[in-house]
C-alpha cells in the first residue's frame, strides 16, 4: 500500500506537483520534529514522575516477517512512525497481552538510563517496564575491569529473574551486546522468559562470541592493536586488555548517526553546569580550542606513560600498607572489599592531590567517610535525570531534590579543592626549584604557561582535578571479557525460547547486512524492521520501536 501518510494526503492542485511535494515534505519534517520534541519532554516527565502522557500512540500494524527466514511473506519496513492506522483501541490491545512486564537490557557502554523514552511509552500503554544496569555499567558499583565473564556481566539480570514470583514470566529486550545477555538468560532460566527480543542485538549461535559480530564493522585488528587508543589495560600493559572505550566523535558516527544528540546534552545540561564548573571540565566542555587543549593536556601531561610510571612507588607503598594492615587483623573478621576500596582511593588521592585524604589525620579538611560520600554523591548526581532541565517552567520546584543535592556537594567539593590548591601553592612558594609531584602540581604549572592557546583559569584547574579524580574512580569502560566469551547454548533450553529480532536499517555499528546474517544463521520466530533508525532506536525512532514491542507482546 506504500506510505500511508502520503496516500492519505490530498494533492495540491494549485501550485503543481513538485512545489507542493516540497512544501508537504517540509511540513512533514517540521511536524515530525515537533512530535519528537514533545515526546522527549513527556517521556522524561512520565519516566520520573509516573504521570500519564497526553498523547497516545495506537498499535498500528508493523511490517514483520513471521516464521523462518525462508518464509514467502515479503518483509516491508516501517515507513512513517507518525502515521495513524485503523488499529484496535489501546484497552482492547492490552487484553491480548498476557505478559505485561518488560525487562530492558542495555548494550555496551550504556546503562538503564538509555531506555527513558521507551519506559515512558510502555508505561503509558499500561505495561510494566523495568530497566537494569548490568555489572560495571551505569551506576552499578562493580569495577568494570573485574567483569571478566558473561556470567558476571549478566548477574544483575539473572538475579532479577531468579527473584520473580514462581509463576511470573517477563519479556526480555536486549539491545546490541545485551543480546548475548538475554541469550545467556534463555539458556539458564528459560521458564522465566515469555519472549526474547533482540534489538539490533548479538543473537549469536552456540560457540560464537559477541565481539565477532562487531569485528566486521569495527576492524578488530586496528581496534585491539597494542597502540590502539580505544583499548584499556586495567591490569597493566603486560596483561591482556580489560575493556575498550570510544571517543565522542566515534560514538556519534557509529551509534547516534540519526539520533537527536541535542536531547542527550539536554538530559545532563543542569548537572554539567552545576557540577562541572559551568562546562570548564574535560568531559563536557564544548568542542573547540579549550577542549582540544584539555585533550592534549591529558595525553601529553596528566596521563603520559612517563607520568604514570613515576607514580609506581605510590602503588607499591599503598600495597605494602594494605598487607601490613591485613596482617595486623589476623584472627579477626573483616571486609576485604572495604580495604581494597580504601587502598584504591589512597592511590588516586596521592596521584592526583598529592597526599592521602583517607588517613583521618587531625588537620584533614574532610573525614575519610565524608570524602567517600562526596565522591559517591558526585558520581551519582552526574548521571541522574533532572526533569526540571527538560521542562524549565517546573525547574524551580526541584521535584526530585536533585538540584539541592547538587548545590550541596558542589559547595563541599569547591571548598575541598580550594584547600588543596592553597596547599600546593604554598608548597610551591616555599620551595626553591620545586618540581611537580602530582597532577594538581602539573595543572598549576600549566596554568602559569603563557604559551597556552586558552588560559587555564583557577576554576578550570578545579574542574580538571575533580574530573580526573572522579574518572579514575568511576569511569565506565566497556568490559572486554564478556564480549570475547563463547556462548554455550543448548537446543533443550535456549532452543525452546521464543525469539524475535528487530533490525535497524541505517545502523553504522551493526550494519543491516550483518543483522541479516545473524537472522539467517540463527532464525527467530519473527523479524521486524525499522527504517531510518541508527543503532539506538530508543533515541532516533522511539515511537516505531514502541509499536513493534506492543505487536510482539500481542503475538500468542
CATH value at residue 519: 3.40.50.1820
| Beta bridge mates, 103 | 130, 172
pLDDT of residue 79: 33
Residues 214 and 305 placed together within one structural domain of the fold: no
The better pLDDT of the pair 152, 463 is held by: 152
| 12 classed as catalytic | no
Same domain? For 421 and 358 the reply is yes
- Higher per-residue pLDDT: 399 or 317: 317
57 confidence band (pLDDT: 50, 70, 90): very low
* DSSP three-state, residue 503: strand
| Domain finish residue from 416, 449, 474 | 474
pLDDT at 304: 75
Residue 232 has pLDDT above 90, yes or no: no
pLDDT for 64 beyond 70: no
pLDDT of residue 86: 40
pLDDT of residue 318: 86
Per the model's pLDDT, the better-predicted residue between 13 and 546 turns out to be: 546
Of the candidate ranges 73-77, 294-298, 510-514, 545-549, the one whose mean pLDDT is the lowest? 73-77
The domain boundary residue, chosen from 474, 503, 535: 474
Residues 51, 80 contacting (CB under 8 angstroms): no
The pLDDT, as a whole number, for residue 200 is: 94
Q: Is residue 242 part of a domain?
A: no
pLDDT at 160 over 90: yes
Residue 485 DSSP code? P
Which has the closest alpha carbon to 375: 475, 479, 453, 238?
A: 475
What pLDDT was estimated at residue 178? 93
Between the two ends of the chain, the Cα-to-Cα distance in Å is 26
Catalytic residue among 143, 507, 533, 540: 507
Strand order in the sheet with 64-66: 64-66, 526-530, 499-504, 193-199, 170-175, 101-105, 128-132
**534 CA to centre of own chain:** 16
pLDDT for the residue 345: 77
The distance from CA 14 to its chain's CA centroid, rounded to whole angstroms, is 50
Q: Say yes or no: 274 and 182 in one domain.
A: no
| Residues 426 and 535 grouped into a single domain | no
Q: Could you tell me if residue 249 is inside a domain?
A: no
pLDDT of 398 above 60: yes
Low-confidence winner among 40-49, 197-206, 366-375 (lowest mean pLDDT): 40-49
Provide the pairing of β-strand 478-479 with 243-244. Answer: antiparallel
- Residue of 198, 246, 211 lying closest to 537 (CA atoms): 198
Q: How far apart are CA 131 and CA 120, in angstroms?
A: 12
Flag the least confident range among 47-56, 269-278, 373-382, 419-428. 47-56
Residues 447 and 509 in one domain: no
Q: How confident is the model at residue 540 (pLDDT cuts 50, 70, 90)?
A: confident
Does residue 229 register a pLDDT over 50?
yes
Q: Of the candidates 338, 353, 352, 342, which has an alpha carbon nearest to the alpha carbon of residue 318?
A: 342
CA distances from 41 to 35, 142, 389, 445 (A): 10, 32, 10, 44
Q: What angle do CA 276, 277, 281 make, to 5 degrees?
A: 55
Cell 543480546 sits on residue: 179
> Which residue range(s) make up the domain with 378?
259-474
Q: How far is CA 251 from CA 255, 335, 373, 423, 534, in A?
A: 5, 39, 31, 39, 12
Q: What CATH number corresponds to the domain at position 328?
A: 1.10.630.10
Q: What is the mean pLDDT of the chain?
A: 73
Lowest mean pLDDT among 57-71, 195-209, 316-330: 57-71
Most confident of 12-26, 305-319, 517-531: 517-531
SS3 track for 119-177 = HHHHHHCCCEEEEECCCCCCCCCCCHHHCCCHHHHCHHHHHHHHCCCCCCCEEEEEECC
Residues 316 and 459 reside in one and the same domain: yes
pLDDT at 550: 93
Whether the CB-CB separation of 135 and 160 falls below 8 Å is answered with: no
- What band does 73 get if pLDDT is binned at 50, 70 and 90? very low
Tell me: do 397 and 275 sit in the same domain. Answer: yes
163 and 68 in one domain? Answer: yes
Is it the case that residue 373 has pLDDT exceeding 70? yes
CA distances from 187 to 104, 135, 180, 496 (A): 18, 19, 11, 9
Find out whether 489 and 495 touch, Cβ atoms under 8 Å: yes
Catalytic pick among 258, 263, 535, 546: 535
| Cα of 223 vs its chain's centroid, Å | 20
Query: pLDDT value at position 67?
Result: 38
Per-residue pLDDT, averaged over 26-30, amounts to 58
The answer to whether 204 touches 522, Cβ cutoff 8 Å, is yes
Question: Do 464 and 506 belong to one domain?
Answer: no
Q: Pick 149 or 32 by higher pLDDT.
A: 149
- The arithmetic mean of pLDDT across residues 213-232, rounded, is 60
Task: Convert the pLDDT of each residue in 445-459 to its tens digit.
Answer: 888 888 888 888 887
Query: 20 pLDDT exceeds 60?
Result: no
pLDDT of residue 290: 77
Residue 494, pLDDT score = 94
Q: pLDDT exceeding 70 applies to what percent of the chain?
A: 63
12: in domain: no
Domain count, the chain: 2
Band of residue 5 on the pLDDT scale cut at 50, 70, 90? very low
Res. 158: pLDDT tops 80:
yes
| Residue 1, domain member (yes or no) | no
Tens digits of residue pLDDT in 456-479? 888 778 777 766 665 555 445 677
Of 176, 183, 436, 540, which residue is the catalytic one?
A: 176
Residues whose CB is less than 8 angstroms from the CB of residue 209 and which lie 6 or more positions away in sequence, other chains included: 483, 484, 485, 486, 487
Cβ(357)–Cβ(364) below 8 Å: yes
Residue 141 in any domain: the answer is yes
> What pairing do the DSSP bridges indicate for beta strands 170-175 and 101-105?
parallel
537 burial class (0-12, 13-18, 19+ CB within 10 angstroms)? Answer: buried
Concerning whether 535 is annotated as a catalytic residue, the answer is yes
What is the rounded average pLDDT of the residues 160-168?
A: 93
Distance CA 185, CA 208 (A): 16
Which of the four pLDDT bands, split at 50, 70 and 90, describes residue 222? low
* β 101-105/128-132 pair status: parallel
171-203 per-position pLDDT tens digit: 999 999 999 999 999 999 999 999 999 999 999
Q: Do residues 110 and 217 both lie within one domain?
A: yes
Band the pLDDT of 92: cuts 50, 70, 90. low
Contact indicator for 75, 527 with CB cutoff of 8 Å: yes
Residues 356, 460, single domain; the answer is yes
Average pLDDT over residues 46-75: 34
Per-residue confidence band for 212, with pLDDT thresholds at 50, 70 and 90: confident
Residues whose CB is less than 8 angstroms from the CB of residue 304 and which lie 6 or more positions away in sequence, other chains included = none
Q: Of 445, 474, 503, which closes a domain?
A: 474
- Closest by CA to 177, choosing from 147, 222, 221, is 147
Q: Is 176 part of the annotated catalytic residue set?
A: yes
Mean pLDDT of 234-261: 62
Whether 210 and 305 map to the same domain: the answer is no
pLDDT of residue 544: 92
Q: Is the pLDDT of residue 389 over 90?
A: no
Is residue 154 situated within a structural domain?
yes
Residue 355 φ then ψ, to 5°: -160, 170
Tens of pLDDT along 116-143? 778 888 888 889 999 998 988 876 767 7
Pairing of strands 499-504, 526-530: parallel
Count the alpha carbons within 13 Å of 385 in the hemisphere toward its beta carbon: 23
Residue 79 lies in a domain: no
Q: Say what the pTM is.
A: 0.55
Cell of 495: 532452543
How far is 266 from 479, CA to CA, in rounded Å? 27
Residue 502 lies in a domain: yes
Amino acid at each position: 500500500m506504500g506510505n500511508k501518510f502520503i496516500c492519505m494526503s490530498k494533492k495540491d492542485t494549485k501550485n503543481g506537483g513538485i512545489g507542493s511535494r516540497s512544501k508537504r515534505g517540509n511540513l512533514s519534517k517540521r511536524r515530525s520534529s515537533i512530535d519528537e520534541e514533545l515526546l522527549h519532554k513527556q517521556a522524561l516527565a512520565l519516566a520520573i514522575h509516573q504521570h500519564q502522557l497526553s498523547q497516545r500512540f495506537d498499535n498500528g500494524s508493523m511490517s514483520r516477517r513471521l516464521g523462518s527466514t525462508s518464509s514467502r511473506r515479503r518483509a516491508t519496513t516501517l515507513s512513517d512512525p507518525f502515521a495513524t492506522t485503523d488499529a484496535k483501541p489501546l484497552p482492547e490491545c492490552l487484553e491480548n497481552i498476557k505478559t505485561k512486564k518488560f525487562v530492558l537490557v542495555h548494550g555496551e557502554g550504556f546503562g538503564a538510563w538509555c531506555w527513558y523514552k521507551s519506559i515512558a511509552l510502555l508505561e503509558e500503554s499500561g505495561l510494566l517496564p523495568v530497566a537494569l544496569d548490568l555489572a560495571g555499567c551505569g551506576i552499578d558499583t562493580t569495577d568494570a575491569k573485574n567483569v571478566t565473564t558473561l556470567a558476571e556481566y549478566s548477574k544483575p539480570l539473572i538475579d532479577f529473574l531468579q527473584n520473580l514470583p514462581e509463576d511470573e514470566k517477563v519479556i526480555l529486550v536486549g539491545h546490541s551486546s545485551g543480546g548475548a545477555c538475554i541469550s545467556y538468560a534463555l539458556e539458564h532460566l528459560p521458564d522465566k522468559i515469555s519472549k526474547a527480543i533482540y534489538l539490533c542485538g548479538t543473537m549469536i549461535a552456540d560457540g560464537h562470541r559477541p565481539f565477532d559480530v562487531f569485528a566486521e564493522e569495527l576492524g578488530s585488528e586496528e581496534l585491539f592493536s597494542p597502540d590502539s587508543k580505544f583499548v584499556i589495560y586495567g591490569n597493566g600493559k603486560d596483561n591482556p586488555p580489560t575493556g575498550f572505550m570510544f571517543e565522542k566523535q566515534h560514538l556519534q558516527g557509529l551509534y547516534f548517526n540519526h539520533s537527536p544528540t541535542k536531547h542527550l546534552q539536554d538530559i545532563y545540561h543542569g548537572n554539567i553546569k552545576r557540577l562541572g564548573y559551568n562546562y570548564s571540565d574535560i568531559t563536557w566542555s564544548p568542542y573547540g580550542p579549550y577542549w582540544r587543549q584539555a585533550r592534549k593536556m591529558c595525553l601529553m601531561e596528566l596521563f603520559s606513560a612517563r607520568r604514570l610510571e613515576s607514580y609506581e612507588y605510590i602503588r607499591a607503598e599503598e600495597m605494602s600498607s594494605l598487607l601490613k594492615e591485613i596482617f595486623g587483623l589476623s584472627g579477626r573478621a573483616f571486609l576485604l572489599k572495604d580495604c581494597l576500596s580504601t587502598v584504591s582511593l589512597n592511590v588516586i588521592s596521592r596521584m592526583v592531590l598529592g597526599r592521602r585524604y583517607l588517613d583521618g589525620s587531625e588537620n584533614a579538611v574532610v573525614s575519610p567517610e565524608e570524602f567517600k560520600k562526596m565522591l559517591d554523591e558526585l558520581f551519582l548526581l552526574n548521571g541522574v535525570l533532572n526533569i526540571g532541565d527538560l521542562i524549565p517552567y517546573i525547574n524551580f520546584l526541584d521535584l526530585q531534590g536533585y538540584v539541592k543535592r547538587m548545590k550541596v556537594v558542589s559547595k563541599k567539593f569547591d571548598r575541598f579543592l580550594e584547600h588543596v590548591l592553597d596547599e600546593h601553592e604554598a608548597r610551591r612558594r616555599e620551595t626553591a626549584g620545586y618540581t611537580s609531584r602530582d597532577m594538581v602540581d602539573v595543572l598549576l604549572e600549566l596554568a602559569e604557561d603563557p604559551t597556552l592557546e586558552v588560559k587555564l583559569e583557577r576554576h578550570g584547574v578545579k574542574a580538571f582535578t575533580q574530573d580526573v579524580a572522579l574518572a579514575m574512580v568511576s569511569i565506565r569502560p566497556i568490559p572486554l571479557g564478556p564480549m570475547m566469551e563463547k556462548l554455550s547454548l543448548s537446543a533443550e533450553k535456549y532452543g525452546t525460547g521464543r525469539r524475535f529480532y528487530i533490525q535497524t536499517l541505517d545502523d553504522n555499528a551493526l550494519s543491516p547486512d550483518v543483522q541479516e546474517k545473524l537472522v539467517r544463521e540463527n532464525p527467530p520466530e519473527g523479524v521486524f524492521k525499522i527504517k531510518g533508525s541508527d543503532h539506538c532506536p530508543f533515541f532516533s525512532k522511539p515511537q516505531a520501536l514502541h509499536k513493534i514491542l506492543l505487536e510482539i507482546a500481542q503475538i500468542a
